């Protein structure tokens, strides 16, 4: 008697996804549906309001407040912002994947014989939607800065650029491009942005995109690259899908727990991994000298922090050329806060580790004062280099507010989810948790109001 074997039937990807959705709906808590509907309606209301505001505002709504009027040369600065947005989009897309999968999905779903491209189609569509939305915002902002009355072509061009950024990142993720291609593209746009900034400083006029034929011509290669990326999605390996899983999981955990320190920790770990090995250095014998030396070594091994200081100083002086005093003041405030947070990593490590403070054998305030020396010194250096551009009063307000806000944020204790809850019709509102999350940010808001009054 002959034995016959039938080939196993591989289900379609739509069947697997439908089964998964049905299981999720069946086991969902019914009491959570009302809250989900409220959140969706609230999100649609806020998004609709923002879109309505962006559509109905005049072309000079932003430029008249922040930028000085000129013979068309603000459009050059607008193109610089667009190039920087594309460069940043390439960096984010490469960091997040852009298509990823969690460990359970990679193990139990994507390891099956089911068509992997069809399984990942929904994630790819979501990635394209996010890229298009971000590109639309960048395009509309470019039109605002340029003062273009016909803002439609620039906005659509931004949407196409967002889709193209995601597609190029996906092609690099699926190894259709060589590894150096994506960093080369990112740095090319960054260098182009620097060149455009220099051209805007020299009042060189760049043409504003106001015609639709250029957009239609650019749409063809963007759609072609997107289709190529969608076809290449099935070639993604499990290692490729897991390349940005830690960052995606950290972002989801930070959003769920309302604690950005989870994502910040992952970014910090990635940054130190890029540094790699570094030579050991002997620390001085005294506690004070050793702590200061260790804090300086941190930024010697990551010299990009000093590049941020140079970029902030250059941005403030560039704002004096293309912007109003209000833009200069806000640029100085934001840059000072960034520098204060960046150079206060040692303060965060000291305040976040009670065992380390006990091991060092000094009081909390004494250790905190030591860790404030470097950020205060860098803030003082930045203030000295920009005081002529921003003015003494604005410089004093920005420096003091940045130092206080960074100190409040870096010394924040661990989040406590036990606190005051406000009962509303839509659910519980964690008032005390919100207070902990915005710790330090009200100082910047007060500083912004003071800058408006001073200027």
- Claim to verify: residue 204 and residue 306 sit in the same structural domain: no
Could you tell me the pTM of the whole model? 0.79
Question: For the segment 248-288, what is each residue's pLDDT rounded down to a tens digit?
Answer: 777 877 777 766 777 777 887 777 777 777 677 777 778 88
Residue 115 counted as domain residue: yes
- 222 in the same domain as 75: yes
Is 318 within a domain? yes
- Do 193 and 325 share a domain, yes or no? no
What DSSP string runs through 190-250? Answer: HHHHHHHHHHHHTT--------HHHHHHHHHHHHHHHHHHHHHGGG--HHHHTTTHHHHHH
Count of structural domains, the chain: 2
Q: Is residue 333 part of a domain?
A: yes
Task: Give the position of tokens 């640029």.
Answer: 331
- Judge if 203 and 327 occupy the same domain: no
**23 domain-assigned:** no
Look at residue 5 and tell me if it is in a domain. no
Q: Are residues 228 and 347 in the same domain?
A: no
| Residue 11, burial from CB neighbour count under 10 angstroms (0-12, 13-18, 19+) | middle
Same domain as 266, residue 227: no
Domain membership flag for residue 301: yes
Are residues 356 and 297 part of one domain?
yes
Q: What is the pLDDT of residue 231?
A: 87
d(CA 59, CA 56): 9
Statement to judge: residues 93 and 212 lie in one domain: yes
Q: Are residues 119 and 229 in the same domain?
A: yes
Number of Cβ atoms within 10 Å of the Cβ of 125:
11
Whether residues 320 and 445 share a domain: the answer is yes
Q: What confidence tens digit (pLDDT) does each residue in 388-444 have?
A: 988 899 999 999 999 999 999 888 887 777 777 777 766 677 788 888 888 888 899
pLDDT tens track, the chain, 455 positions:
456 666 677 778 788 888 888 887 777 776 666 777 877 888 888 888 888 888 787 766 666 666 665 555 677 878 888 898 999 899 888 888 788 887 778 778 887 888 888 888 888 888 899 999 999 999 888 888 887 778 888 899 999 999 999 999 888 888 888 778 888 999 999 999 888 888 877 778 888 888 889 899 989 999 999 999 888 888 888 778 877 777 877 787 777 776 677 777 788 777 777 777 767 777 777 888 888 888 888 888 888 889 999 999 988 988 887 778 888 899 999 999 999 988 988 888 888 778 877 877 777 788 888 888 899 999 999 999 999 988 899 999 999 999 999 999 888 887 777 777 777 766 677 788 888 888 888 899 999 999 988 87
Domain containing 362 equals 261-270+284-454
Is residue 228 located within the same domain as residue 332? no
In a domain, 60, yes or no: no
- Residue 212 sits in the same domain as residue 265: no
Residue 34 lies in a domain: no
Check residue 444 and report its DSSP letter: H
């Amino acid at each position: 008697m002959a034995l016959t074997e039938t080939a196993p039937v591989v289900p379609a990807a739509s069947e697997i996804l439908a089964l998964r959705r049905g299981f999720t709906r069946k086991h969902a808590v019914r009491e959570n549906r009302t809250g989900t509907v409220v959140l969706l309606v609230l999100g649609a209301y806020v998004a609709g309001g923002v879109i309505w505001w962006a559509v109905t505002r005049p072309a000079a709504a932003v430029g008249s407040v922040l930028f000085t009027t000129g013979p068309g040369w603000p459009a050059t600065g607008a193109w610089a912002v667009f190039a920087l947005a594309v460069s940043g989009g390439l960096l984010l897309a490469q960091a997040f994947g852009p298509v990823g999968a969690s460990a359970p999905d990679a193990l139990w779903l994507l390891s099956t014989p089911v068509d992997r491209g069809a399984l990942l189609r929904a994630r790819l569509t979501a990635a394209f939607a996010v890229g298009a939305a971000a590109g639309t915002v960048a395009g509309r902002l470019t039109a605002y800065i340029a003062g273009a009355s016909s803002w439609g072509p620039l906005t659509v061009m931004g949407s196409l650029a967002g889709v193209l950024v995601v597609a190029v990142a996906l092609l690099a993720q699926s190894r259709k491009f060589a590894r150096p291609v994506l960093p080369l593209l990112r740095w090319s746009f960054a260098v182009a942005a620097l060149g455009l900034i220099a051209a805007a400083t020299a009042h060189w006029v760049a043409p504003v995109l106001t015609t639709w034929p250029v957009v239609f011509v650019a749409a063809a290669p963007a759609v072609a690259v997107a289709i190529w990326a969608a076809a290449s999605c099935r070639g993604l390996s499990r290692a490729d899908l897991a390349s940005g899983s830690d960052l995606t999981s950290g972002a989801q955990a930070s959003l769920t727990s309302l604690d950005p320190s989870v994502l910040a920790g992952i970014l910090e770990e990635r940054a130190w991994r890029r540094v790699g090995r570094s030579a050991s250095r002997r620390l001085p014998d005294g506690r004070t000298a050793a702590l200061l030396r260790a804090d300086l070594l941190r930024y010697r091994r990551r010299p990009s922090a000093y590049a941020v200081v140079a970029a902030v100083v250059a941005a403030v002086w560039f704002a004096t050329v293309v912007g109003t005093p209000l833009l200069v003041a806000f640029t100085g405030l934001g840059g000072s806060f960034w520098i204060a947070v960046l150079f206060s990593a040692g303060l965060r490590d000291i305040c976040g580790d009670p065992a380390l403070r006990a091991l060092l054998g000094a009081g909390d305030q004494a250790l905190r004062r030591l860790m404030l020396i470097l950020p205060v010194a860098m803030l003082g250096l930045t203030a000295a280099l920009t005081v002529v551009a921003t003015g003494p009063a604005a410089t004093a307000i920005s420096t003091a507010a940045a130092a206080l806000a960074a100190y409040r944020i870096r010394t924040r204790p661990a989040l406590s989810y036990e606190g005051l809850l406000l009962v509303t019709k839509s659910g519980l509102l964690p008032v005390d948790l919100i207070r902990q999350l915005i710790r330090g940010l009200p100082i910047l808001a007060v500083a912004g109001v003071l800058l408006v009054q001073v200027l």
